[in-house]
């Protein structure tokens, strides 16, 4: 499912990192919504929360800070998770 769009890494526990290859923000969103729907089709109890952060390949230099990007994605994931809980 992810072979051509990017690469997935397990960060630990139930947290994963997906690095997409040269996609627009809308393509990212469509992909994540597709994963979310497949997840919902298989589980009525658990939910899928995610945070999306974009960067350009040209931004990768000595000042590039992956830690801050991961922190931002984590914060967005928790916002999404809280929205899911409040919508139930």
Q: What is the pLDDT of residues 7-18, one digit of tens each?
A: 888 888 888 888
Q: How many domains does the chain have?
A: 1
Q: What is the pTM of this model?
A: 0.74
Which is nearest to 25 in space by CA: 67, 56, 61?
56
Strand pairing report for 6-12 and 15-20: antiparallel
Q: State the Cα–Cα distance between residues 41 and 9, nearest whole angstrom.
A: 23
| Both structure tokens of 53 | 């952060």
Residue 37 maps to a domain: yes
Residue 18 maps to a domain: yes
Residue 68 maps to a domain: yes
Residue 75 maps to a domain: yes
User: With 60 as the cut, is the pLDDT of residue 1 above it?
Assistant: no
Q: State the Cα–Cα distance between residues 51 and 63, nearest whole angstrom.
A: 22
Q: How many residues does the chain have?
A: 88
pLDDT attached to residue 3: 60
| Domain range enclosing 59 | 6-87
pLDDT attached to residue 17: 85
Q: Is the dihedral of CA 55, 56, 59, 60 positive or negative?
A: positive
Residue 63 maps to a domain: yes
- Categorize the per-residue pLDDT at 75 as very low, low, confident or very high, splitting at 50, 70 and 90: very high
Residue 1 maps to a domain: no
pLDDT attached to residue 53: 84
Average pLDDT of every residue of the chain = 83
- DSSP-derived letter for residue 63 is T
Residue 81 maps to a domain: yes
pLDDT attached to residue 55: 79
């Amino acid at each position: 499912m992810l072979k051509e769009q990017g690469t997935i890494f397990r960060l630990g526990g139930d947290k994963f990192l997906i690095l997409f290859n040269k996609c627009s923000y809308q393509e990212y969103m469509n992909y994540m919504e597709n994963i979310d729907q497949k997840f919902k089709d298989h589980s009525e109890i658990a939910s899928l929360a995610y945070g999306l952060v974009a960067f350009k390949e040209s931004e990768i230099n000595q000042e590039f800070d992956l830690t801050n990007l991961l922190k931002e994605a984590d914060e967005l994931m928790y916002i999404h998770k809280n929205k899911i809980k409040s919508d139930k």
